[in-house]
Amino acid sequence: MPEAGVSPHDEPAHPVDRGAIAASLNGCRDDLHTLLAAATPARLRGPSNGTKWTNEQLLFHMVFGFLIVRRLLPLVRVVSTLPTWVGRSFAWLLDAGRVPFHWVNYAGSCGGALVFNHARMGRLCDHTIDQLVTGLEQEPEERLGRGMPFPTSWDPYFEPHMTLAAVYAYPTLHYAHHRKQLTLGS
């Protein structure tokens, strides 16, 4: 029988490849800096492929994926200790609010790119990824296997149940997905 508050869907305790997750996070950081260094002002203002964002807005949205994980980690730590029905109810409530979420997600990246434009988003990304890698290194192994239900209508990379390790790995999937939509040229 699982201990109180632990979902029967939590993964069994097994070592998480922290090095691979950290390398993926750092790889995204390096790629972002390469993109920012090579991007012309005209290309940054140009439309992305498959979104309503400009390339600069999409770049900010890609960085925002790392920022949001910093806010998700404490939530997963807490909800993973509560009864399973709490997490399921919370995910259901978030899924029910998907329409306003998608609007805020779009508008937030438009506004965010005004504040953290191409000249500032690299530093924001550096700081955020440094914090994620440090947090990952310090996270107790048993906690990395604990998780909670997620609102799957919010993002194609949100699974119905995600462990803390999966949340640490999520922003690299989000980044790679949107990386393909940039039209910055070679």
- Residue 161's CB: how many other CB atoms inside 10 A? 19
Q: What does the chain look like in DSSP terms, one character per residue?
A: -PPTT--TTSPPS----HHHHHHHHHHHHHHHHHHHHH--HHHHHSB-SSSSSBHHHHHHHHHHHHHHHHHHHHHHHHHTTS-HHHHHHHHHHHHHTHHHHHHHHHHHHHHHHHHS-TTTHHHHHHHHHHHHHHHHHHS-HHHHT-EEE--TTS-TT--SEEEHHHHHHHHHHHHHHHHTT-----
Structure tokens at 40: 């012309």
Decide if 47 is inside a domain: no
Quick one: pLDDT at residue 98? 85
What is the percentage of the chain residues whose pLDDT exceeds 90? 83
**What's the structural domain count of the chain?**
1
Domain of 97 in residue numbering reads as 26-37+57-179
Q: What does 11-45 look like in DSSP terms, one character per residue?
A: PPS----HHHHHHHHHHHHHHHHHHHHH--HHHHH
Give 54-95 pLDDT, tens digit per residue. Answer: 999 999 999 999 999 999 999 999 999 999 999 999 999 999
Decide if 31 is inside a domain: yes
Q: Could you tell me which of 116, 156, 127 has the C-alpha nearest to residue 36? A: 116
Decide if 150 is inside a domain: yes
* Whether the Cβ atoms of residue 13 and residue 145 lie closer than 8 Å to each other: yes
Give 110-164 pLDDT, tens digit per residue. Answer: 999 999 999 999 999 999 999 999 999 999 999 999 999 999 989 999 999 999 9
Decide if 129 is inside a domain: yes
Decide if 156 is inside a domain: yes
Q: What is the mean pLDDT of residues 27-39?
A: 97
Residue 5, pLDDT > 70, answer no
Cα 35 from Cα 167, distance rounded (Å):
25
Decide if 76 is inside a domain: yes
Decide if 134 is inside a domain: yes
What is the pTM assigned to this prediction? 0.88
Decide if 80 is inside a domain: yes
* Whether the Cβ atoms of residue 52 and residue 107 lie closer than 8 Å to each other: no
